[in-house]
Amino acid sequence: WDDSLQEVQVDEVIMGHVLQGGSGQNTARQAAIYAGIPKESNAFTVNKVCGSGLKAIALGAQAIMAGEAEVVVAGGMENMSQAPYILPRARWGYRMDVNAKGECIDLMVYDGLWEIFYGYHMGNTAENIAAKYGITRQEQDELGLLSHQRARAAIKEGLFKEEIVPVTLPQKKGEPVVFDTDEQPMDTSMEKMAKLRPVFRSDGTVTAGNASGINDAAAAVVLMSREKAKELGLKPWVAIKAYASGGVDPAYMGIGPVPAVRKALKKAGLTIQDIDVVELNEAFAAQALACMRELGLTLEKTNPLGSGISLGHPIGCTGARLVVTIMYEMKRRNLQTGLVTMCIGGGQGMAMIVENI
């Protein structure tokens, strides 16, 4: 919690978090207290799968507009590498039998990456979209390569430095390690991409090279009205213009951004041509390409610093991370209007439009 904001009374902390199993009570409250936000604030946790972080920000904006809060900290977090396994029948015991079988479930997959209605992995929904829209393996690999190239270039130029809060990690021996750079972006090529095998179907096109990774991350923003910011002597970065959600067939969940973006544009009174920069989460290259095709988005405007394939998709955090990134990108390039959007497991999409102030 920044020293310059110590005197600001935070009314509510709202954090998206999907893989909550084994994390303890109300992880948003934990984040608030451990971050040093005064205990007089309130907190609750949101689970809208991949849209959790963005939904948290939208809920914060709603609370302010409704007069229920003046200052809200909202964002998202995920620790996919620490998601537990569960023994769902263990509470009632297992038979004393040499042939007794106890089921063990990976919650990272089941609660975060499993299409619950059709009974298969999210990657299969990307295969469905690739087949429906005629998106080839080469097209997916090309987008995957571009994502890594853009992310690596952005890191080399130091474009993420301002938005990343370094984490100091004590070591058993020697000096602490300062963690301040994303690990996922890779130095790859089309030749390397082509060697990767399909993950979800033997005759499929989705590989580890054109899909997002398994990641840990957190991101947050401070929300308040323009009047409150003026009262506190603070300069707002961006204004939330509109946000919306949309629903689609869960088997094609990756196309969810399309109805969400169209709704948000209509609410904002804008067209896609009015958008200067887009952060469209790359859960999979296939779905990102399908959404770009349907919405008329160009590669020039979309994900200029890379996205989910290169930077990762820590599911509860992603929406908030996209907002933070687009804020810095808009300020750096003096862009007026930005669009954040992502697909959501279970057949949904969410979008938010922000404006430079």
Catalytic residue among 17, 291, 317, 343: 343
Question: Please, are residues 278 and 301 in contact by the beta-carbon 8 Å criterion?
Answer: yes
Give dist(CA 115, CA 103) in Å, integer.
19
Residue 317 known to be catalytic: no
Give dist(CA 140, CA 308) in Å, integer.
13
Question: Please, are residues 341 and 281 in contact by the beta-carbon 8 Å criterion?
Answer: yes
Structure tokens at 251: 């088997």
Catalytic residue among 148, 291, 313, 317: 313
Q: What 3-state class would DSSP assign to 46?
A: strand
Q: State which amino acid sits at residue 68.
A: E
Residue 291 known to be catalytic: no
Give dist(CA 352, CA 181) in Å, integer.
27
Structure tokens at 198: 């399909």
C-alpha atoms less than 13 angstroms from C-alpha of 280 in its C-beta half-sphere: 32
The closest alpha carbon to 258, from 240, 147, 249, 213, belongs to 249
Structure tokens at 314: 């820590």
Catalytic residue among 50, 148, 291, 317: 50
* Contacts for 117 with CB less than 8 Å, ≥ 6 apart: 250, 251, 346, 347
C-alpha atoms less than 13 angstroms from C-alpha of 292 in its C-beta half-sphere: 23
Q: What 3-state class would DSSP assign to 9?
A: coil
Structure tokens at 80: 């996919």
Question: Please, are residues 252 and 229 in contact by the beta-carbon 8 Å criterion?
Answer: no
User: What is the number of other CB atoms lying within 10 angstroms of the CB of residue 195?
Assistant: 9
- Helix 285-295 to helix 122-133 angle (10° resolution) is 50
Give dist(CA 258, CA 291) in Å, integer.
6
Catalytic residues: 50, 313, 343
